[in-house]
Structure 1
Amino acid sequence: MLTETTETISPDLFRAALSHWASGVTVVTTRDAAGQNHGFTASAFSSVSLDPALVLVCLDNRANCFDAFDSSEGFVVHLLARDQQELAGRFASKGADKFAGSGVTLSPAGQPLLPGALARLECRTERRVPGGDHLILIGEVHQASEREGEPLVYFQRRFHDLTPAG
């Protein structure tokens, strides 16, 4: 029998515990109706289904780009390569033009594509699900590309290299 509890964990303790989960790093991009590019860095990313091909990403409700993603018809998930730490940091920050000097191009569907990612998943927004202080975006993947390389990994609040020590 399950017992109900009213105890809640503090956000700081929850964040500290989750820092022990190693994850890949993604940058998620979209383009709004006015033609403005938007993006954010996310480690909260997962595949959901193979058939149909579905993925999810989580976006903070307070993010400057929230409205763009909340109303977009699609988005692109860029699985970052080990040498893309600067890009991850730029898209995690507020303020500066995140796309400046990035070599962004547009997909046939009109979504912003960043060069250098290990893989890109171009998605149609399938569903938006409220999840506490985040919005869970579920996308159906309609186009994918990939290349060889090492991933950018985030663990205990910093980036790590998976290359074995020699």
Structure 2
Amino acid sequence: MSAEITVVDESTLSAPDAATLKKVMSHFCTGVAVITAHDGDRPLGFACQSVVSVSLDPAYISFCPAKTSTSWPLLREAGKLCINILAHDQKDVCSNFAVSGGDKFAQIDWSPADNGAPALAGSLARIEATVELEHDAGDHTIVLARISGLTADADGSPLLFFKGGYGGFAG
């Protein structure tokens, strides 16, 4: 049996408008993470929902910060990251890190992970990683980081983002 290959003429395709794309993609439930680093003087971080495991061997993880992020260039320079997977009761933590400026670590309990990046108290899991490369992706950047350490708590449920709101998992 042979497979037939269909060639698509890309000149006939039209890109969806941003509002439609955002509406459709809001139907995909994602977990929520806070990506942190320490520059030697202060802790840094931002909220992110585009985190994905890329490879088991070697162990890689990826995430996609917006090009408008003022935090990402500082974390990139630090190089060593902690990806904190938020628990269902950490919506306030997410809110702290989802805004620009200010002291995002005010009222946040954290301690240094093995690589020095902030590990947030109460997170379900923590993934320590080192930035290896970046790839331009429109209005975002795709970051690939090599995993150097892992920690996961046995109990708890994740903070989820769906259709513009936060919720939990009932399984």
Q: Is the TM-score greater than 0.5?
A: yes
Moved over 4 A (4+): none
Secondary structure class of the residue paired with 1:59: coil
**Corresponding residue of 2:169:** 162
- Number of aligned residue pairs: 163
Quick check: 2:64–2:143 contact (8 Å CA) kept in 1?
Answer: yes
Amino acid aligned to 2:60: L
Unaligned runs of 5+ in 1: none
RMSD: 1.4
Quick check: 2:51–2:64 contact (8 Å CA) kept in 1?
Answer: yes
Question: What are the Cα deviations for residues 121-157 of structure 1, in whole angstroms up to 9, with x where unaligned?
Answer: 0001121111111121111111111112111111111
**Corresponding residue of 1:69:** 75
**Corresponding residue of 2:140:** 134
Secondary structure class of the residue paired with 2:126: strand
Alpha-carbon distance in structure 2 between the residues aligned to 1:74 and 1:137: 13
**Corresponding residue of 2:47:** 41
Shift of 1:76: 0.9
Question: What are the Cα deviations for residues 53-98 of structure 1, in whole angstroms up to 9, with x where unaligned?
Answer: 1100110111121321332322111111000000011111123311
Superposition TM-score, scaled by structure 2 size: 0.89
**Corresponding residue of 1:54:** 60
Alpha-carbon distance in structure 2 between the residues aligned to 1:145 and 1:120: 5
Alpha-carbon distance in structure 1 between the residues aligned to 2:75 and 2:139: 15
Unaligned runs of 5+ in 2: 1-6
Quick check: 1:122–1:141 contact (8 Å CA) kept in 2?
Answer: yes
- Counting aligned pairs with the same residue, the percent is 28
Bigger Rg, which one: 2
Alpha-carbon distance in structure 1 between the residues aligned to 2:50 and 2:77: 20
Match of 2:24 among 14, 17, 28: 17
Match of 2:34 among 16, 27, 47: 27
**Corresponding residue of 2:102:** 96
Superposition TM-score, scaled by structure 1 size: 0.92
**Corresponding residue of 1:107:** 113
Quick check: 2:80–2:116 contact (8 Å CA) kept in 1?
Answer: no
Quick check: 2:46–2:72 contact (8 Å CA) kept in 1?
Answer: no
Amino acid aligned to 2:59: A
